[in-house]
């Protein structure tokens, strides 16, 4: 157990809605928001292979400190199939979102994991 | 001359005091009348009250219970769909009533459903509620409730992560956005 002292680095993909299907020739546009209690979001990466490889998103500067920062990317897929698009933000202190919510946090407070279980 | 005037004044005062008395007395009766109007029905109902014998009282409560149950039936109060008790969203079970009665008098049934734990884990949660939230000792109910929770709300241990479930697939219209 520990007390909540600050918001950890976190990102959310807000577009498109989960369940999107596209044709193999098209690129998938994604958009989202990232935030942190450190100075700013340094970078956001996306992965379509469950975290094996990561590619950078375009990250916009925030309007002011602690405001959400928008990110976006355009993703090409190698073949037909089931994909999960994961986003992973890194803040100015070098802290990166973890992949999963650790087991010591059964209630899920401050869940900043990349992956929805 | 002067004395005569005095007498006249006294006579006037006497008349006036009688007149005032009459007003006071009539006011008293008017107030009494209003009081009666106000209190008439409660007094009547008290005088004409019907005292139920213990047997009649039991019957009265029984009838009220039957009416309540009929109402509940109309509202699908305890409808079960696909093994789920619709009103609470909990898994249907012979002991569900006990769980609903014990747990949801304090908190939403969703608070049960959104948690997953082993029997020991659920026991710890009950202990926590007893230590910090004023939950009473559950006595004989505790093992029954723990069995229910451990059976239906156990942690999922699947070995590997599954693909996301319950997804509504749709064709993304790329011309619309961006």
Which residues form the domain of B96? 82-152
Verify that B93 and B122 share a domain, yes or no: yes
Question: How many domains, in total, are found in chain B?
Answer: 3
Pairs of CB atoms within 8 A across A/B? 33
pLDDT tens for residues A23-76?
999 999 999 999 999 999 999 999 999 999 999 999 999 888 889 999 999 999
Q: Residues of B numbered 41-80 whose beta carbons fall under 8 angstroms of chain A's beta carbons: which are they?
A: none
Sequence ranges of the domains in chain A: 10-91
Residues B94 and B74 in one domain: no
Same domain, residue pair B90 and B128: yes
Same domain, B57 and B22: no
Q: How do residues B2-40 score in pLDDT, each as one tens digit?
A: 556 666 777 778 888 889 999 999 999 999 999 999 988
CA A54 to the chain's CA centroid: 11
Residue B21: CA atoms inside 13 Å, Cβ hemisphere, count?
6
Same domain? B68 vs B32: no
Query: Is the separation of the CB atoms in B97 and B108 below 8 Å?
Result: no
Q: Are residues B100 and B122 in the same domain?
A: yes
CA distance B177 to B145: 50
Task: Report the candidate in B87, B172, B86 with the shortest Cα–Cα distance to residue A85.
Answer: B172
- Does A29 sit within 8 Å of B177, measured CB to CB? yes
B28 is a domain residue: yes
Q: Which one is the CATH code of A10-91: 3.30.470.20, 1.10.12.10, 1.20.1440.230, 2.60.40.650?
A: 2.60.40.650
> pLDDT, tens digit, for every residue of B59-105?
888 998 888 877 766 667 788 888 899 889 999 999 999 999 999 99
Per residue in B96-146, pLDDT tens?
Answer: 999 999 999 999 999 999 888 899 999 999 999 999 999 999 999 999 999
The first and second tokens of residue A113, run together, are 């994991």
**Taking Cα atoms as reference points, which of B161, B176, B164 lies closest to residue A83?**
B164
Using the 3D structure, point to which of B80, B100, B122 is the last residue of a domain. B80
Q: How far is A47 from A88, CA to CA, in rounded Å? A: 8
Q: Are A89 and A96 in contact (CB under 8 A)?
A: yes
Of B121, B164, B168, the CB nearest to A84: B164
For residues B166-171, average pLDDT: 92
Q: Which of B121, B167, B174 sits opposite A18 (nearest CB)?
A: B167
């Amino acid at each position: 157990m520990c007390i909540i002292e600050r918001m950890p680095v976190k990102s959310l993909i807000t577009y498109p809605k989960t369940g999107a299907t596209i044709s193999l020739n098209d690129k998938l546009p994604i958009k989202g928001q990232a935030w942190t209690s450190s100075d700013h979001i340094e970078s956001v990466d996306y992965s379509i292979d469950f975290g094996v490889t990561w590619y950078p998103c375009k990250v916009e500067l925030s309007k002011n400190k602690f405001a959400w920062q928008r990110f976006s990317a355009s993703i090409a897929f190698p073949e037909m199939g089931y994909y999960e698009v994961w986003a992973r933000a890194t803040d100015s202190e070098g802290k990166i979102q973890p992949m999963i919510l650790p087991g010591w946090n059964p209630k899920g407070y401050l869940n900043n994991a990349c992956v929805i279980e | 001359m002067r004395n005569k005037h005095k007498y006249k004044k006294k006579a006037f005062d006497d008349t006036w005091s009688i007149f005032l008395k009459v007003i006071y007395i009539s006011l008293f009766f008017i107030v009494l009348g209003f009081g009666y109007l106000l209190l008439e029905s409660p007094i009547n109902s008290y005088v004409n009250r019907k005292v139920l014998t213990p047997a009649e009282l039991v019957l009265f409560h029984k009838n009220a219970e039957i009416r309540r149950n009929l109402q509940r039936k109309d509202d699908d109060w305890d409808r079960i769909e696909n093994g789920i008790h619709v009103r609470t969203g909990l898994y249907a079970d012979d002991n569900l009533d006990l769980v609903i009665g014990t747990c949801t008098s304090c908190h939403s049934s969703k608070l049960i459903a959104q948690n997953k734990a082993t029997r020991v884990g659920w026991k710890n949660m009950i202990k926590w509620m007893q230590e910090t939230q004023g939950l009473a000792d559950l006595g004989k109910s505790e093992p029954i409730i723990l069995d229910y929770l451990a059976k239906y709300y156990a942690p999922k241990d699947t070995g590997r992560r599954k693909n996301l479930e319950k997804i509504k697939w749709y064709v993304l219209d790329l011309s619309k956005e961006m």
